[in-house]
């Protein structure tokens, strides 16, 4: 065997040159002969009945596309199917797309849009969280029964706000007919989601829809289900005008109309015995779906399953509701319900300890999950859990104890906070086995060149580099002998969506198995296929939410240090340390890249990124008002990786992408609590909130 460096040894990104040089074609870089443009007319009303539509007489070559042009079903295929492609007679949120205007000249399109008159009858909008569309419940062991014997009950409610994905490249797609095949090129995360949605909207047979990924300038979940809506609308337009049509969102349009992170309200209640131990937790998770439920039920279940975070609690009663309101639909976003829950449980554990007069860190440490403990849903943590060692490492690197002692006792407006967390890798429950059924292929040509045929999308996380590296390493061939083109549904099988921290662990796992078989294959030109099978020990009861919700978990510790300006309430992040167990890093530098970006996004979710709606209208509509961190807002971040190989991951790899986001908010919130000596139950912790707490708040 040739000498090979460890798989984790960093290599240059395979697409670095084309992206840095500007050669990589993003969707707006692509133009086609005869291509037309489309622009969307959107509802200005949160809830209203469409009484009348007045369309102007259109110049030659221009078209208006609305619900009447949908040949198939007027629904965007998603999990809960309530997303209309175009509304018929009722609008349900501000920004809801009513129609497209399509044509050659953008100025003419704007003139047409301005001449269109929609007459509404205003209806009462609902912004309160009362219309529960999905309700879930599960229990662990004795559920809430121990509350009857509790010595003391402690309860707090935690609130989290919207978060905007803020990908650099807004939503966009081009549609055209290739012979009689509907072809869509887009900035997307999930080529097959788009394909299946368009098939249902058109009512066409499988072979007549093709979806191709363009280079994607960031997604963060925002291009998981949302592009399916655009694709369906665009497909209608393409059929009408029989020419290529390009639809690209402007930034404000994107912010107003596309999905964001679900705001949540999480009520936590603990039954405490006479010794101060937690006997049971009762948790209620409420999330705001906005006007469309879509995949909110899955977001809710991920949040609920994470109810005890990185801790083991013996008895649980967990309920949750998805509420429908007349505000912008919320949807997939890196973490998918976990960031909300991780904030709530991490703050609650801290608050229980304080309420009991106990030292919070020691109190929390006693509950940290260990191998073979039962998970919240009574599954089993089968693999080793390294949290004790990881916490020690994080504390040593950040000098946590020394700083915490100092900051707790002095009133110097400095603080340090530490969060413990985990993230379930892959789809929740039995989704991988029952819904996704991932399929991958490797094809070796006679020349020895190997093609990786999967639908995974590189949206900046580096999956094209990682997969090529994986296969090259396994076959012991140079990386340029391994090809991984941008996915095209006509060429690659459905390996599932690029979501849920599943790509390396699940898809990569299948690719590795296929590579192993390919390596043993005597014939040169050959194609190998692998299909996902749930490990037999993983059992999940969907209806009762019982069993192993995930095949594996990644774990993490974040430490964040802050200084608060007592004059202005402004927070400076002065230090950040992370320790992660992602099984095995396929490329340590890429994992660090994910770690830096994820932590920045997670910390910012906790203190910086404010988004609210007023009567259904988003108030922060551009990147001047919606504040994401710059390099100047982030300190140097130190990241340490612990190897803990997972049997079914390639080289032991587990999920990375979401893990690095979910612990940021509680870590910074705890640090701010220490700095201002006030209790925090709500994020983002803005200077406005800090000033309010310092002026009127309780210790």
Name the site residues for other proteins (rule: CB under 8 A).
28, 37, 39, 106-107, 110, 248, 250, 567-570, 572, 608, 610, 619-621, 624-625, 627, 629-630, 632-633, 687-688, 691-692, 695
Q: How far is the CB of 588 from other proteins (least distance, A)?
A: 29
Q: How far is the CB of 498 from other proteins (least distance, A)?
A: 26
Q: How far is the CB of 120 from other proteins (least distance, A)?
A: 24
Are 399 and 545 spatial neighbours (Cβ–Cβ below 8 Å)?
A: no
Q: How far is the CB of 661 from other proteins (least distance, A)?
A: 19
Q: How far is the CB of 239 from other proteins (least distance, A)?
A: 24
**Can you tell me the distance from the alpha carbon of 124 to that of 581, in angstroms, rounded to the nearest whole number?**
49
Cβ count near 567 (within 10 Å)? 8
What are φ and ψ of residue 119, in 5° steps?
-100, 125
Cβ count near 622 (within 10 Å)? 12
Q: Give 442's contacts (C-beta < 8 A, 6+ positions apart).
A: 450, 451, 452, 453, 471, 511, 514, 515, 518, 527, 528
Query: Given the complex with other proteins, which of 208 and 621 has the nearer CB atom?
Result: 621
Q: How far is the CB of 626 from other proteins (least distance, A)?
A: 9
CA 117 remoteness from chain centre: 37
Q: How far is the CB of 37 from other proteins (least distance, A)?
A: 8
Cβ count near 57 (within 10 Å)? 7
Q: How far is the CB of 609 from other proteins (least distance, A)?
A: 10
Q: How many CA atoms lie within 13 A of 225 on its CB side?
A: 28
Q: How far is the CB of 258 from other proteins (least distance, A)?
A: 17
Query: Given the complex with other proteins, which of 90 and 104 has the nearer CB atom?
Result: 104
**Can you tell me the distance from the alpha carbon of 116 to that of 58, in angstroms, rounded to the nearest whole number?**
11
Query: Given the complex with other proteins, which of 410 and 632 has the nearer CB atom?
Result: 632
Query: Given the complex with other proteins, which of 365 and 691 has the nearer CB atom?
Result: 691
Query: Given the complex with other proteins, which of 152 and 612 has the nearer CB atom?
Result: 612
> Tokens 């430490």 appear where?
559
**Can you tell me the distance from the alpha carbon of 21 to that of 232, in angstroms, rounded to the nearest whole number?**
33
Query: Given the complex with other proteins, which of 186 and 309 has the nearer CB atom?
Result: 186
Q: What sign results for the dihedral spanned by CA atoms 653, 657, 660, 663?
A: negative
Q: Comparing C-alpha atoms, which of 257, 280, 282, 278 is closest to residue 269?
A: 282
Q: Where are the alpha helices (DSSP H) in 521-565?
A: none
Query: Which residues on neighbouring strands pair with residue 441, listed in sequence order?
Result: 453, 529
Query: Given the complex with other proteins, which of 250 and 542 has the nearer CB atom?
Result: 250
Query: Given the complex with other proteins, which of 170 and 652 has the nearer CB atom?
Result: 170
N- to C-terminal Cα separation, the chain: 64
Cβ count near 254 (within 10 Å)? 23
Q: How far is the CB of 50 from other proteins (least distance, A)?
A: 25
**Can you tell me the distance from the alpha carbon of 594 to that of 441, in angstroms, rounded to the nearest whole number?**
27
Query: Given the complex with other proteins, which of 362 and 632 has the nearer CB atom?
Result: 632
Query: Given the complex with other proteins, which of 520 and 632 has the nearer CB atom?
Result: 632
Q: How far is the CB of 177 from other proteins (least distance, A)?
A: 23
**Can you tell me the distance from the alpha carbon of 175 to that of 173, in angstroms, rounded to the nearest whole number?**
7
For 106, the 3-state DSSP assignment is helix
Q: Comparing C-alpha atoms, which of 685, 598, 49 is closest to residue 338?
A: 598
Query: Given the complex with other proteins, which of 481 and 620 has the nearer CB atom?
Result: 620
Q: How far is the CB of 481 from other proteins (least distance, A)?
A: 40
As given in the structure block, the two tokens for residue 454 are 């999967």
* Beta strands at 546-547 and 540-541: parallel, antiparallel or unpaired: antiparallel
As given in the structure block, the two tokens for residue 433 are 């086995």
Query: Given the complex with other proteins, which of 151 and 568 has the nearer CB atom?
Result: 568
């Amino acid at each position: 065997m040739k000498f090979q460096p460890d798989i984790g040894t960093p290599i240059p990104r395979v697409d670095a040159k084309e992206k840095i040089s500007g050669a990589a074609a993003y969707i707006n870089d692509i133009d086609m002969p005869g291509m037309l443009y489309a622009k969307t007319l959107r509802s200005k009303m949160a809830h209203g009945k469409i009484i009348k539509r007045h369309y102007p007489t259109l110049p030659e070559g221009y078209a208006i596309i609305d619900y009447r042009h949908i040949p198939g079903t007027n629904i965007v295929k998603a999990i809960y199917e309530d997303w209309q492609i175009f509304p018929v007679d009722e609008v349900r949120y501000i920004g809801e797309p009513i129609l497209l205007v399509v044509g050659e000249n953008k100025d003419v399109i704007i003139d047409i849009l301005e001449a269109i008159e929609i007459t509404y009858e205003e209806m009462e909008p609902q912004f309160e969280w009362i219309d529960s569309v999905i309700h879930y419940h599960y229990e662990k062991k004795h559920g809430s029964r121990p509350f009857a014997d509790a010595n003391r009950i402690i309860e707090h409610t935690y609130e989290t706000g919207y978060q905007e994905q803020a990908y650099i490249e807004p939503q966009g797609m081009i549609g055209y007919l290739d012979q009689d095949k509907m072809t869509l090129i887009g900035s997307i995360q999930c080529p097959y989601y788009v394909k299946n949605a368009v098939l249902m909207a058109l009512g066409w047979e499988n072979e007549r829809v093709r979806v191709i990924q363009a280079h994607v300038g960031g997604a963060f979940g925002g291009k998981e289900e949302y592009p399916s809506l655009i694709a369906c609308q665009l497909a209608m337009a393409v059929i009408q005008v029989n020419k290529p049509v390009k639809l690209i969102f402007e930034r404000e349009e994107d912010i107003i109309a596309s999905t964001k992170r679900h705001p949540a309200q999480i009520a936590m209640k603990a039954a405490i015995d006479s010794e101060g131990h937690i006997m049971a937790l009762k948790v209620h998770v409420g999330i705001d779906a906005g006007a469309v439920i879509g995949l909110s039920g899955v977001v809710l279940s991920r949040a609920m399953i994470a109810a005890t975070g990185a801790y083991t609690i013996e008895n649980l009663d967990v309920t949750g509701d998805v509420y429908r309101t007349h505000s912008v639909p919320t949807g997939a976003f890196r973490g998918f319900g976990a960031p909300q829950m991780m904030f709530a449980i991490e703050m609650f554990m801290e608050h229980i300890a304080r309420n009991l007069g106990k030292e919070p860190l020691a109190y929390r440490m006693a509950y940290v999950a260990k191998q073979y403990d039962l998970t919240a849903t009574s599954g089993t943590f089968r693999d080793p859990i390294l949290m004790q060692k990881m916490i020690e490492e994080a504390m040593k690197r950040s000098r946590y104890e020394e700083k915490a002692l100092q900051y707790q006792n002095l009133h110097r407006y400095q603080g340090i906070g530490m969060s413990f967390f985990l993230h379930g890798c892959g789809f929740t429950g039995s989704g991988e086995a029952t819904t996704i059924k991932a399929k991958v292929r490797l094809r070796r040509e006679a020349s020895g060149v190997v093609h990786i045929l999967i639908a995974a999308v590189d949206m900046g996380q580096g999956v094209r580099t990682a997969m090529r590296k994986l296969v090259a390493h396994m076959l012991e061939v140079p990386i340029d002998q391994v090809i991984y083109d941008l996915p095209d549904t006509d060429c690659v099988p459905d390996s599932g969506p690029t979501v849920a921290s599943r790509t390396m662990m699940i898809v990569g796992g299948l690719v590795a198995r296929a590579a192993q078989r390919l390596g043993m294959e005597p014939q040169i030109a050959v194609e190998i296929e692998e299909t996902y099978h749930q490990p037999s020990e993983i059992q999940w009861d969907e209806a009762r939410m019982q069993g192993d919700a995930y095949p594996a978990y990644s774990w993490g510790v974040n430490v964040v240090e802050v200084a608060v300006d007592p004059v202005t309430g402004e927070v400076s992040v002065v230090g950040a340390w992370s320790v992660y167990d992602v099984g095995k890093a396929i490329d340590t530098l890429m994992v660090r890249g994910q770690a830096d970006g994820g932590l920045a996004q997670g910390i910012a979710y906790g203190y910086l990124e404010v988004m609210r709606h007023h009567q259904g209208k988003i108030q922060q509509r551009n990147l001047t008002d919606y504040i994401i961190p710059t390099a100047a807002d982030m300190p140097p971040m130190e990241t340490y990786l612990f190897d803990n190989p997972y049997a079914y991951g390639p080289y032991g790899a587990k999920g990375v992408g979401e893990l690095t986001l979910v612990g940021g908010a509680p870590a910074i919130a705890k640090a701010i609590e220490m700095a201002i000596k006030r209790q925090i139950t709500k994020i983002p912790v803005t200077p406005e909130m800090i000033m309010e707490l310092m002026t009127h708040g309780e210790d």
